[in-house]
Amino acid sequence: MRVALVHAPGGCDVIALAQFSLARAAPAVAALTGRPVLTTPDLAVTKLRRLLEG
């Protein structure tokens, strides 16, 4: 995973970890790449809060 992220052709602005099992790796991926990292658990909680708070 490290090689694929650091050497991705064209680079990227944001990295999305789309499996719940990868969420705990987000801080390490962010530190390694210097890119913001989104995870599905964080995004799901954010959306649920938005829906419940109206």
Confidence of residue 4 (pLDDT cuts 50, 70, 90): low
CA–CA separation, 40 and 4 (whole Å): 20
Residue 11 has pLDDT above 80, yes or no: no
User: What's the CA gap between 36 and 49, in Å, rounded?
Assistant: 21
Q: How far is CA 9 from CA 5, 18, 33, 48, 54, in A?
A: 9, 20, 14, 34, 40
Mean confidence (pLDDT) of the chain: 84
Pick 8 or 48 by higher pLDDT.
48
Confidence of residue 28 (pLDDT cuts 50, 70, 90): very high
